[in-house]
Each structure stands twice: as C-alpha cells, then as structure tokens.
Structure 1
Amino acid sequence: MSLLKRTGILRRVQTLWARVGLRARLEAFILLALLPMVGLVVVLLLQERNQDIERARDATRLLADRGAQQQAQIVQQARSVLQLLTLVPDIREASPDRCATMLKQATDLYPWSTGFGVFNPDGNLLCSSNRSRPMNVADRDYFREALATHGFTVSNFLIGQNSKKPRVVAALPILGDDGSVIRVLLAGVDLNWLAELSVEIAHESGGTVSLFDSEGTILARVPDPQGIVGRSMAEHPMVRKIMVEEAGIIEDDGLDGIPRISGFSTLEETGAKIVVAVARDDILAAADRNLLLGTGVITGVVLLIVGGVWVLMEVMVLRGLRDLKASAAFLSSDLFDPYALCTPVPVHPSEIGQVAHAMRTMGRTLSTIAFEDRLTGLANRRFFEAHVERLKEQPAEDQSAIAILYIDLDGFKPVNDQHGHHTGDAALKQIGTRLAHCVRHGDFAARLGGDEFAVLLSLPDGQPERYIRDVARRIIDSVSAPIIADGLDVQIGCSIGIALWPSDAEDLALALQNADQALYAAKRSGRGRIVAYSELSATDASPI
C-alpha cells in the first residue's frame, strides 16, 4: 500500500472519530477497559469447566479402584474363614450330622457367602450348607489347582446356576497328618458390593458400573437397559483398550454408543475388570451451565455499567454542556442580557459518588467470582497462592515474619458419609466463619480445598511462639465447639501444623512444605493436636 493511500485512510479515520460524540467516546473507552476483565472471568470459567472434567475422570478411576479393593478384601476374608473352618473336626471329617449345620451357620454369618461345601479329592460332594443332591467338581480348574498346589485358589467369575448372578469360588485343601489332601473346602462369593457401589455411583453421577471377565464377557452391569449382560464385548473398541491395561481412564464411546469417561481397574485373582463410566455430555452440560451463567452475569454487569454511564453522561455532563453552549450562543447574540445565566446547573457530588460505588461493587463481584471460596467466604486456593507470590516479591526491608498454620479437620469425613454432602457443606460454612473470627485484621485465612485450611499470621512485633500457639489453640477450641448443621448436632475437630518464615526456612515455598509436614505429624499423633515444624525429629521432617 502506498504512502498516499495510507495517509488518506488515516485522515478518514480521524474525520470519523472527530464526528463521534463525547458520550460515545467514553462508552468505547469503558468497553475497552472492561474487555480484559470479561476475558479474565471467561478464562477462569473455562478453567473451571476443564477442572470439572478432570474431577469426573479422577472420580471414575477412584470408584473403580474402590470396587477392586472391596473384592480383594472379600476374597481375603473368604480365605481367613476357610482356614478357620478347616480346623473344625466335624468339617474336616465331613460328619453327616454336624457338617452341614455348621456350614449353614457360617453361610448365615457372612453376607458375602453364597454357601460352603466339603468335597473329597475325587470331586464328590460330602456335605454342603445349601445342597443335598450329588455333585462333582473334579473337572473344575480351581479344584484341580487346589489339589495340585495344596494351597488357596480362586476361580474365574462364574454364573450361579440358581441365582444367575456372577460369583467366584474360593477353594482351600484340608491336609492330613502326612501332608496329603483329604478334603477340599469350597466357598461361593457373590457380588453384593457391586450393587452397593452401583447405587452410590448412580446417585452421585448417573453413571454405570460394568464387570467383565478376563475374556471380555459382561458378567454384571448396573443399570442394564440394553440387556447385554452375558454377551461377549471383546471386539468393542473400548473393551479392547481396557483388556490390555491393568487400570486407567479411557474417553471413548461406551457400550451404548454414548461418549463416556470410563475408569477401570483389575480384580485380583480373577483378571476380571470393573469399569465405572459417566456420560461425558452430562459432565459438560453442568459445566456449560456454569459457564453460561457466569458469562451472563458478567454481560449483565457490563451492560449495567454502560447504561449507567450513558445516563450519567446525559445528566451530569451533556446537559451542562448544552447549557453552556446555549449560554455562549446567547452571549454572542444581539439579545445579550447581563442577568442571564451563563453557567450550567451545579453538579451534585453524590452522582459521581454513586458511579464510583457502582464500579467498586463490580470490582468486588469480579474479585468474589475469581478469588473467594463460595462456600465459606474465605479466600480460595487461587487467592492463597497469589498472596504467597506477593509475599515472595516484597523487598527484604518490607518483609515481616510470618507464622504458617496448616489446618485439617478431624472427623469431617464421617459427617459427609453419614449425613450427606449438604450437611457437610453447612458445617464447613460455619467453620469458615469461626476461623475468620479467630484471626486479627491483616492476617490471612483461606480454604485450600475439601476440609483443608490455612492461616498466615503476620508477626511484625516479633510475637513469641506462645502467641502463635494461643491462636492455634483458639482455632481448635472454636472449631471443636458443637455445630448445628441441617438440624443435626455435628462434632468436628481439627489438627494444626505450624512453620515459621523465615525462621524455619528462608524460602517461603519450603516453609509451606514444612507446615504441611508438621500437620502430617499432628494428624498421626491424634485428634486436636498442634505440632510445630521445629519440634519434628530429623526422621519426621524428611520429605513425605
């Protein structure tokens, strides 16, 4: 583009800008000033959306691991029960009168058991808790393995003949005095834990729980609207990925064709896979609603400010300018009147104050969205980390000593488990209020997440350690006081780890880690404890 053309375009832009009124210019300036704030809030909301997806991924994996752990615990319990039963003479000898009765009592005692049975080495049934007709298990792989190894074995998942539900069979040989197998004791283990886990997942996320055997056949699925239990899904892309890994997270189309986030884990002894899946669209729908709501609030705030400035410009500026213009024109005319008003009506300071108040309100709203914990009203983790960075950047001469108190609640998890998260949230809200009342103006209190809090005490006058412990004890006493949440009497305590900066560490980040180690030591020593980093031994102070 030639210099002449560029000059012509610049002149036209200048001419158009000159025609734009003062009010339009001010509105344009305000919009340009607000755009970075709007962009910041949108970015924060998008980050929250991504965090919702990441939390869903972690939750599915944790629930799958939990199912695998429950299965492992049940199998271990079955092993212990079989070991005890092999010591009972009536069972060792398969006494016709006493054996079945004792096995029936054992079945009633353990909810995971579908029944017990004693078999000869040739596989014939001698006595059982729930069966009297003849039965032979000599051809079963787990029975052969028990005979060969003389040790505890577990079968792959089997479908019960009567219940039509998946179960596993645990086998333990009964050895004679010469070490040979004289009997084999079997126990059936059902999947009650799978139903309980499925109800919890369906309640929390609307997800599904599936159990596959080592060949990719569906043994159980809750819920199962397609009726695919018992079918082989080994060729499904998602199932193929699951079968080659021990545990992990997969984002792919589920068995019903719906995009899902699936966490999976392998069940010990059997090679089976438990898969917990939630619909990705459901997670995104909730996140998108929050994004839309937040964007709508910001848009409303911007429109409110723009509209308010438009009116204020009319009332406080443009009306006065028109009066001045009219006065100037009158003064320039032949009808000059020395008594005519030549100045506009005085502007009331209250109108300017109202504009300033509206801007401050907007700033507080944006700051609350970005940096305040919505539940407790304390600073959130993002604000805490930003505050720590500001402390690091202060000149050495302006820095004062700081006591770092890391706080973790005692007994909070049972409140959530027994009464629900709504009651837990109500308790956390009261705890946040109590914590704010325990610190001075100028000190800093934040909720780091879950039931973890932090307090930074400024020590400009070099208060002794006793002062810091008094504050910590005041926090413990305040938090430990009875809480009424949703009409329930809730008892919660807390433990506190303390570190001093720069006494315990010249680097503030290291001092924060020291406070975390002190809190870990306090939690290990019991409820309601206060532990300072300076009290830790070399072993306790090593990285965790």
Structure 2
Amino acid sequence: MVSGNSPAARIRSLFSHPTVRSVLQPATGLGLLVIVLLWSGIGYQLGLEREKLGAVALQNTRNLARVVEEHAARAITGADQILRLARAEILRNPDGFDLRAFAREVTPQGDVAIQLSLIGPDGRLRLNSLMVPTAAIDLSDRPHFGAHRDAVGDELDISIPMVGRVSHRTTLQLSRAVRGPDGRFLGVVVASLDADYFSRFYASIDIGRQGTIMLVGTDGVVRAGAGAAAPLIGRKGDRPWPTLENIAKVPVGTVVGPSLIDGVDRFVAFRRVEGLPLVVYASVSAADALADNAWYVKVYSALAGVLTLVVLVAMVLAVRQRMRLERTSVALHASEAVARRTSQELAVTLDTMAQGIVMVDRDDRIAVANRRAAELLGVPVEMLAERPTFDALVAEMARRGELGVVGDGGAGGEPARRLSVAFGAAASDTGPVVFERVRPTGQTIEVTCVPMPDGGMVRTYTDVTERRAGERRIAYMALHDPLTGLPNRTLFRSRLEQALDRQRDRGVPFAVLCIDLDRFKEVNDCHGHAVGDALLLRVAHRLRRCLGEGDVAARVGGDEFAVLAARRHGDDDRAALAGMILDALTAPYRIDGEVVEVGASVGIALAPEDGAGMETLLRAADQAMYRVKAQGRNGVCWAGRAPRFTGPQPVGTRTDAA
C-alpha cells in the first residue's frame, strides 16, 4: 500500500493538478516544436546567406589581388627591362654611353617616374638621368649596392622605400649588378620608381571603409599600401606574416580572420608577383562584406519574433481555454480581438519587408503572401489574398508572360510546368532549394524554397539584379583595359594559351605581334594626357579594323599593344598583315582639330617556328619589336630577321577622324 506522503503519490498529485494538466497538453508540445523549427530554419537560412556573402567577398578579393598583382608585375617588369637595356648599352659602350639621352628615349610616361643611375664599383655615382653627378655623391652605404657587390648571381633587387640623394624623393630602388665578360664587378645600375605611385593606384580602388591593399616584399617590409596598411609602408609589421613563411610553396591563397595590422576581421587574398620577390595582399573587412547578413538577421529575427509571439499566444490561449471553460462569451470575444490584432501586426510586418514571402500549405494552397511577393511574381495582390492554389498562381504568371525566361541564372526559357516541377521537387526535399528567374522586365529574382515538416513550403523572393550586375562588372574589369576596352594582359595570355593548345592538338599555326607606339611621349608632352588618351582610343579602333575572324588585340601596357593573329598562307600575306597594321597605326590622327602623328614598332613571332611556349613566343616578338626601336623605329621586324622600316610620313599626307 502506497502512502499518501510517498514520492510516487506526490508525483501523481502533481500531474493531476488542473494547471499542470492544462500545460502538458498536445497543443503546448506542438507550439514548442513549431518555435524550435522556426528558429532553426531561420538560423539555417542566415547561415547560408552568410556563407554566400563570404564566398562573394573571397572571390572579389581574389579578383582584386590578381588585378593588383598584374599592375605591380607590369610596372616593375617594365622598369627591369629598361635596366637590362641600360646595362647592355653600358657594357657595349662604357665610355660614350649617354644615360640621360637613353632615359629620355625609353622611359615610359605616366604616374610612375623612373630615374636611372649608374653606381661605380667604388660606390660613387657615375651617371644619372636627372643631372650630371659629382664625385661627392657616395652611395656605397646603400643596401642594394652592398648586396650586388657581394653577390654572385644576377638577381633583381627591390629596395624598401628610401629618399634618393639626387631626386630627394621617396623611391623604390630597382637595381641589377653590372659585370664584365670576365665576371668582374663594374658597378650597379639603378631605376628609381616613385614610391607613392603604387599607393595612389591602390587608394583609387574602392575597398570599403576598412579594406586594405599592400605590396609586401618577401622580406616582410611593406613597399606600398592603402587603407589601414598605409602606416606600415617602409617597415615590417609588429608580427611576422604567416603566409610569407610558405609563399614559395603556396603562392596564391586566401585567409579569413583577425588582421595582423589592427585585429579587424577580414577576408584576405594574397598572390605572389610572378618572378619577383613581392607579394600582394588585398582584403575587405568582414563587417563590410557581411553587412547585408546583419540586415537579414534583423529582418528574420523580427519575423521570427512575431511568429513566435503568435505561437506563444496560441499556446496560452489553449491552456487558458482548458483551465477556464466557464469563461463567458465576452472573454472569448476579447481573446479573438487579441488574435486579430496580432494577425494585423504580422501582415504589416510582412508587407514592409524587402523580400517577398509565400507560404504554401500541404494542400498546395497559398496560406500567407505579402505585397512584395506579388510585385516580384508579377501578379495582382488581390489574387494572392484569395488564397489560390500554387498551380493557379503559376498559370496566372504564365498568362502574364512572367515565365518566358526561367532557369539557371536566367539562361533559356521554360514553360510554367517546368517551374511547377521545380517547386514540387523542392517540396519533397529535406533542405532548401535555391534558383534564379529573370523577369521580362530584366529583374533577376532569387527564389529560396524551404520545406516545412507538415509538407508545406516557405518561399522567399529576393531581387538580386544589382548584385549580379556588380559581379559581371567586376569580371569585365578584371579582364579588359578600362580606357580602350581591349582585352588586358591577363585575357590576352589566356587566349594565347588556347591558341597554343590548338596548335599542339590540331597543328593550327598563328602569329603574335608586339606593338609599341613611337613618339607617344611627345604627344603627351605637346598636347597633354587627354589627347594621349584619345589617341590610344583611336589606335585601338584602327587595330580592331585590321583584325580578321579569330584574331585578338589587347592593350598590355601604357602605349604597348599585342595581337594574336591567325596565320596567313604565305610570306606575302603575312607581310600584308604587318603592313596593314603599320599603315593603319602610323596614319595621322585628327584629334580636337589638331593632326597628331606617331610611329609604331612592330615585332612578330610565328608559332611554332619561333617558339612552342607562351613565354618563348612573347619574348621573341618583344625582342623583335625592340630591334625595330633600337635601329630606327617605325617599322616591322620578324623574329630572327632584320627590321623593315616604313620611313617617316609627312604631316598632313593622310587623316583619319576615326
């Protein structure tokens, strides 16, 4: 016999209490389950949004790092080519070489200023492109002089930013050793670049409030930077760069986490500059990249809070109804009024959301839909208010022409049945389904379908038109020259690699032309950079007119262009192509009422005769072009042959308003 004061008796008494029985009813358990599922679903959706935003941020930083790496490689490699040319001329004519005249001839025009110097074996300045040096200028204490004097190889040295003793400006010193045929150390040839050039370029890029761009040497010293990295220029960070320790094995990568600069969480992409002891870092702050996610958290939390409140109110009403069956009809009407007010608040919340929301029950009937959903689906709000079936909604959309373009990223049209099948598959799945639909208006709508436990579905519609357009703009900017619209060096090298694959697989020959404008510096000096830019646009236009089907023209430098051309059948046809390009580019230009003339030095390499690899072909064409410039300019030179010159053209003989 169980005593009334025993634990079992007390437990039975507790569960038999009216209040406990009212609370522990099926409606209470169901309400708690709905709340858990609601918050779990919203948390999962927010996690997906955060992952997508993080992936976009990483892709953007990778693209930005690639662009910055190409920019640094182009500027420094160009200066290194000038160093090599200067060194060759010094060795060829050590006593009569005029460095100042040489610098005027080969130094490119633009934001990056180049000063050339020759330091003798005793460490004193011998030649300088800005002034006639005096014997008092001793540079033997410069780190790059000591490095070349004590080294054996022929490595390019890139100094940290330092103040020049001739220019009195902060510069980056690019230097190479000068050695005689017997290996004897004869001095160091130096090219001084404006240290602020790279930082100004980086500062012109929109990287957000806390974004950074850095050009860091493999020694850990920051050469240039923008954003939060600007104070680090010329010195190492307070802590070592982990990515530099393994940069030889992992030259490209991404890092997500607190920055070593200031502890701010960032999405960071890094790339080693090919062939140079430099690494590019580009980053955006996590706060900027995930700003949309923070907004989603607020909106979804508000929606979940309202729905949770509705569920809790329903649970409370169920308990109270169970406990107070004797309540009068007045109390019942009062509770119904509370429910109506709550429903109105939910409707107002849904109608003020930027996203469209449609909830479909297990019978395929629309239970909840807001005004934004009607706008993005292209149907009247009144139709959704009548709670039609989803099939009826799809039929109405088809009748209004909304389903003319449906599919992956808006590619290809599909009938209404295809969309219904897609929704049906999502309804039977265990996780969300996401796809995009392009409306006839041009809007790109992202549709997210989340199945509910009871067999229904919650669908959200988001206008992602601006986001997709921004992604396309970034992709285009990464592969095209912003001034002329021609492919840039990256896209040209990709097309060249494809041509090499065709040549290796099917024996399809082709030619590579390197083109450099002669006297372009004079145009900038005499007429200004605006005319120089207009001239480059005209050059690009004329170059396009010379191309045949399958040919590609690109701008690979300030006044440097390259052409990937299909091979003609004989030497006469190849000469005709080169002559056509040379004639087109050297014909006078009429810009703002003035006649402007430039020359062109063209170097041509043939595949596979002059090389079977990308670098070999480009080097052969580049060397042929420099032979033209070295021996008179304004002509054509085939790789392995002597240049052919067109000779000067009198001003006014031809004009072209193109």
Q: Whose RCO is larger (CA < 8 A, sep 6+)?
A: 1
The structure with the greater share of residues assigned to helix is 1
* TM-score of the superposed pair, with normalisation by structure 1: 0.49
